[in-house]
Structure 1
Amino acid sequence: MSYSGQFQGQGVPLSPSEEKTWSMLAHVGVFVAAWFAMGFLCPLAIWLIFRYRSDFVRRHALESLNFQISLLIYGVVAAILVLITFGLGVLIVLPLVAIGAVAAIVVIVRATMAASDGRDYRYPFTLRFVK
């Protein structure tokens, strides 16, 4: 009995049902991690664990990871804008953050639904750092 595939980072392929489940969790799991401003942790963990076992899960986890990294960058830029304008930027940033938060929830739900249907999804306004 040979376990060489598992030690080379491949492992046992996932069933279609498992693929959909883990792909959905890559998107919806960010809501749990987002409470700690680390929404990228869930898709990162799923990508690291399943990237060699399922191309479908890898694509969804990467898309979610890149979206979460993009949101983090946009948040840092917003905070810097508020700081360099001595707080006046908050008049612009707060409405944008509110709109962005609602939009982020909508696209995360859409991505989760696409994963549950077995379809790929591309987040809008996403910087794709991880490939």
Structure 2
Amino acid sequence: MPSTEQKLLAALSHGGVFLAAPILIPLVVMLISSDDYVRTQAKEALIFQLGLIVAGAISGILVIILVGFIGLIFVGIVAVIMPIIAIINVLDGKDYSYPITGRFARGL
């Protein structure tokens, strides 16, 4: 069971998107922490946020042919809901992994 400090650092990593630093906060937490649980959660959050940025950029380009609006709406909804789910899980002490980017993040 992770300690309170581990849970808070992991939640901070996932919640970086709400603090306007979705890449910076997980990266800093990953670099300064020596704990495996915190580093894994920070890596999960970082890869997920990078994936959202890529998906948002692709959807932004596809707005030209009007398909991108659906993608942007989807990315926006996922960018809000998934970090909240991750924060709730890590505060409960669970080892959370995002559905799509989780395998990739765990493989790094």
> What percent identity do the matched residue pairs reach?
35
Alignment equivalent of 2:40, drawn from 59, 71, 88: 59
Matching residue's letter, 2:95: D
TM-score, normalised with respect to structure 1: 0.71
Per-residue deviation, residues 25-66 of structure 1 (Å, max 9, x unmatched)? 0011222225xxxx211111111111x2x1111111000000
Among 97, 116, 121, the residue aligned to 2:96: 121
Indicate the structure (1 or 2) with the bigger Cα radius of gyration. 1
2:29 to 1, 24, 46: 46
Residue among 20, 23, 29 paired with 2:16: 29
8 Å Cα contact 1:30-1:43 kept in structure 2: no
- Name stretches of at least 5 consecutive residues in structure 2 with no aligned partner: none
Residues in 1 aligned to 2:11 and 2:42: alpha-carbon distance in whole angstroms: 9
Q: Which has the higher helix share?
A: 2
- The alignment's TM-score, normalised by the length of structure 2, stands at 0.84
Task: Tell me if structure 2 keeps the 8 A contact 1:30–1:41.
Answer: no
Q: CA RMSD in A?
A: 2.0
Structure 1: 5+ residue runs without aligned partners? 1-14
Matching residue of 2:5? 18
